[in-house]
A and B are shown apart, each in its own frame.
Chain A
Amino acid sequence: MILRCMKHDSKHKIVGSSVPRVDAFDKVSGRAKYAADYNAKGQLYGMVCYASHPHAKILNIDTGKAAKLPGVRAVLTHEDIPGEKSFGSVIPHQMALCSDKVRYSGDVVAIVAAESIEVAEQAIELIDVDYRQLDVVSDPKVALKDGAILIHDENNLCAYHKVRRGNIDEGFEKSDVILERDYSTSKIEHSYIEPEAVLAEPGENGGITITGSVQNLYSIRRAVARVLGLSLNRVRIIQATLGGSFGGKDETMSALCCRAGLLALATGKPVKMVNTREMSMRESYKRHSYQIHYKVGSTKCGILQAIESEIYADAGAYAAMSPFVTWRSAVHATGPYSIPNVKTDVYAAYTNNCYTGAMRGFGSPQICFAIESLIDELAEELNLDPLELRLKNILKDNSITATGQGLKHKVSLKEVLDNVTEKMGFVDKWKQNREQKRDTAFKRGIGISCSYRGISLGAEGTDAAGVIISIQTDGSVILSTGLIEMGQGAATTISMIVSEKLGITPDRIRFLSADTSRSPDSGPTVASRTTFMAGNAALRGCHELLERIKPVAAELLRCPEQDLLFENNSVYAPNKTSEGDRKIPFSELADKCFQKGISLFAHGWYKSPPTTWNEENGQGDAYFTYVYGANLAEVEVDCITGNVRVLKFISSHDPGQIVNLSGALGQVYGGVIMGIGYAMLENYAESEGNPLVANFDEYLLPTACDIPEIETTLIHNPDELGPLGAKSLGEPACEIAAPAIANAVFNATGMRIRHLPLTLERVKLGKELVRIDSRGSVKARGG
């Protein structure tokens, strides 16, 4: 691994250094408790009965035989739901248990609780459902045509967003070169290695407590309360250690929690439900596949004049986060470039495919692949090298984005591009590769990509978060927040920020996992907002506490408050006090405060700076700040088999201020490799609404053998809005890997591949091969 860190500062004591994760010890010793590791005395096992068809009317559900099976304690259908039958954060139409029809193959019509998993499985087999099959809609463009079969009551349009800037026709008139291209991306399974699991326990007062692999506790709680007909304060959702999520354990978990909750209330017993990988793949929402049409106009010398785009996202059967995901796509559709004339239309359509929602990148990896391929294609057309064309058009300080937003922070795009290209001698290499002989079997290629990314939710929704900081009388600290640790390192990052401010070492800080009954609703842990939002909230909490404890410390040290220094679990006033450099342990100070009746508990709350959005023309200050990144990929293409090997990868990002260096690097590596999987391997294929993959035998993830050498350069560019200058990193790292690779493959072979993933057949033959028979785990599905 090679890392270069630009302009490292020493302003901070701990922030910016590498700190081992606060939760690593439990995880390497096998003691961390994930959802499936929880058991309760007398627990039952829950199981679901899936739809037999991707689209069908339900005529009758007969649970009689199943209910009579010995060991079965409950068989429930939609008729047994005490509250509403459906839930959903944006559009509450996702069915906990289907009533009138099924809309995709992961829909559930009935659930069983039994004394063992085996009995529960047998009972599922005994449930008889009569269906009348309906035509299946599987293409989002077809779904939006007049007269298309309807998935829900109204038309199949799930979301539509537009951006209009300048005058698109004039833009094209002024252009010397106009290019039109179509791109598409595949549907992606999050592939968290931990499948979904919950344990639902009936609580006192008819309430319920659910411990599970949950990402967004509060939206899940709203769903459970709605379906179970309970008030929010009687539904308690506790987060178990989460075995990965990447945006994926939200609506899927709402459904699972509702179902386990229904069974627990019906039986009065704890109910455990654990998905197999096959169930998880069948049912859990995915990253959207996109179909993207671009038209770009440029002057001869490469100044972009206009970009028009029409983008279709497959929302699948339910809305989930699609309206927000596609909004982000609309904002970012023209890439990190200054373009005076823009016309963007983004549609999300309902189909009978697996539904889609949030996944790391949130509507930008698709766009990044398309726009960054397009820019390379345009460069080719204009006889410019890809770097030159980018440098002519990238956003700079004070540039105006496609949505009319002036960028008032330091825009580091040129810097990140320089970082990835200079050391590799990109332009020379790129030119040399084009001279390779036609008949060489192994060809080298090099490619770049860059992006800008609005952080947090932006104008997508209200954006606020809280952190509770509670100093104990021995000087140790407990932190809790509604934003969660899901493997990304939030616990460590937030602990470090608190450590920095209170001068307490991270080992004296304990970050509690989230619990809806104990921590404030801080919205979803998505959109790379955690460091920024919870970090800022934590700073406010620390500030409040310092205001209260400083007078006590000053009194003890007989010095003015401004001379106090909090460091290494103690407070002192260096060279300032008559007491010399006496250090008071933080524990002593905490105890003293407690004796004096001073509250050692603070709730820091942070609301994001304002954003604006005009639905009519898609103009506004969409996000309060942006981050920038660039990638370079070097590949070797085996022209005989079509195999692409990524040899080297350089990634440069501007996360503002790095909080935990080791964690930041981990986010880049993980993001890049997820991006490589997106580029080369992964495809949740479906045919007429039926999934063609069911497990990791055919849904291929990058392994330890597939990964290149990765070099990372992080820019130090503190943002005045971020906590201590920090912004975000987890998502930008993932979104621009695929275009760098596709551009490198073009550089090697001269063949432009506009569809992901870059499979052997696409690289070798330039087309996809059609599968005839089911294979592998697909046959075993449901059996």
Chain B
Amino acid sequence: MKLDFVLNNKRVSINVKGGLRLIDLLREQLDLVGTKEGCGKGECGACTVLLDGKPVCSCLILASQVRNREVTTIEGLSIEGEMHPAQEAFTETGAVQCGFCSPGLLLSTVALLNENPEPSREQIRRALSGNLCRCTGYEKIFEAVELASRRINGLSVQNDKV
């Protein structure tokens, strides 16, 4: 069947099989392999993408569910080569180790910051609790989100790096 939707700010029109998961549409048919599969069961959040700005597990969603809606993947986060402040912050604070969880965590972060540009630690924890990371122990990720938040809000960012 034919599927129309907006992907990373571009219109896409593509033929898909019924029952196809969104993650497979992205990875296999559209070759956007930045979205990762860690569990296939909605438990790890590695496959998180934004659907109309809200984080969803692309392993739990059918491709057909994104009809006429907007999907953002990690590939769509940087605009014309310019990194999103969250991407920069993740790089600088050491929030990335193996990086397999990073695309999902970044999209959850962006969704959080869009909704709440100055989240508290507690709000950050809750917003990211659906994204498992086995490497970092989360601490540096929290710091990255806080740094990105300050940057987005144009606050001073001195002395915030170790």
Contact = CB atoms under 8 A, between A and B. Distances in A.
Given A18-B162, A696-B39, A701-B134, A192 B128 contact: no
Interface residues of A, number: 59
Interface stretch (A236-244, A368-376, A523-531): A236-244
B78 A29 contact: yes
12 contacts: A18-B162, A20-B94, A28-B74, A30-B33, A30-B74, A37-B33, A192-B100, A277-B40, A662-B94, A668-B137, A672-B137, A696-B132
A703 B129 contact: yes
B36 A34 contact: yes
Given A29-B74, A662-B162, A193 B33 contact: no
B98 A194 contact: yes
Nearest to A27: B99
Given A24-B91, A193-B44, A666 B162 contact: no
Interface string B31-75: 011111111110110100000000000000000000000000111
Contacts of B99: 23-24, 26-28, 32, 241, 243, 487
A137 B141 CA distance: 44
B41 to A, nearest CB: 5
A772 interface: no
A331 to B, nearest CB: 27
A195 interface: yes
A672 B139 CA distance: 11
A696 B98 contact: no
B138 A486 contact: no
A738 to B, nearest CB: 15
B16 to A, nearest CB: 15
A243 B99 CA distance: 6
B94 A663 contact: yes
B96 interface: yes
Given A27-B102, A486-B98, A661-B162, A707 B37 contact: no
Nearest to A698: B43
B94 A697 contact: no
Contacts of A710: 137, 139
Contacts, number: 182
A669 interface: yes
Contact of A193 (B40, B90, B132, B138): B132
Interface string A1-45: 101000000000000001011011111111111101100000000
B140 interface: yes
Interface of A: 1, 3, 18, 20-21, 23-34, 36-37, 190-195, 241-246, 276-277, 486-489, 661-663, 665-666, 668-674, 695-697, 701, 703-705, 707, 710, 777
Contacts of A704: 124-126, 128-129, 131, 133, 138, 141-142
A246 B78 CA distance: 31
Given A243-B98, A666-B97, 15 more contacts: A18-B94, A29-B34, A30-B32, A30-B74, A32-B99, A192-B100, A193-B36, A193-B44, A194-B36, A487-B135, A669-B139, A670-B134, A701-B134, A705-B125, A710-B139
Given A277-B39, A669-B139, A696-B41, A703 B132 contact: yes
Contacts of A705: 125-126, 129
B138 A669 contact: yes
B98 A244 contact: yes
Contact of B96 (A21, A672, A696): A21
Which residue among B40, B131, B142 has the maximum number of chain A CB atoms within 10 Å of its CB? B40
Nearest to A197: B37
> What 8 A-B pairs have minimum CB-CB distances, sorted nearest first?
A30-B34, A487-B98, A27-B99, A243-B100, A669-B137, A30-B74, A673-B137, A696-B43
A774 to B, nearest CB: 15
Most chain A beta-carbon contacts within 10 A, residue among B38, B40, B101: B38
Is the contact region of chain A dominated by helix, strand, or loop, or is it mixed? loop
Contacts of B136: 666, 669-670
Nearest to A31: B34
Interface string B131-157: 111111111111100000000000000
Interface centre among A30, A669, A697 (most CB of B within 10 A): A30
Interface in B69-122: 73-75, 77-78, 83, 87, 90-94, 96-103, 106
Contacts of A672: 137
A28 B44 contact: no
A192 B37 contact: no
A695 to B, nearest CB: 5
Given A21-B94, A487-B99, A662-B162, A33 B132 contact: no
B33 A665 contact: no
B161 interface: yes
Nearest to A192: B134
Contacts of A31: 34
A18 B161 contact: yes
Contacts of B40: 276-277, 695
B91 A674 contact: no
Chain A CB within 10 A, most for which of B75, B100, B126: B100
Given A21-B96, A489-B97, A670 B91 contact: no
A747 to B, nearest CB: 24
Nearest to B33: A37
Given A243-B98, A669-B136, A20 B128 contact: no
Contacts of B73: 30
Contact of A701 (B90, B132, B161): B132
A21 B91 contact: yes
Contacts of B130: 703
A243 B103 CA distance: 12
Contacts of A243: 36, 98-100
Nearest to B139: A669
Contacts of A662: 93-94, 140, 162
Contact of B38 (A193, A487, A697): A193
Given A28-B83, A487-B97, A194 B38 contact: yes
B38 A666 contact: no
Contact of B91 (A20, A37, A244, A696): A20
Contacts of A23: 96, 99
Contacts of A27: 96, 99, 102
Contacts of B78: 29
Contacts of A661: 162
Nearest to B32: A30
Contacts of A489: 97
A666 B93 CA distance: 10
A245 B98 CA distance: 9
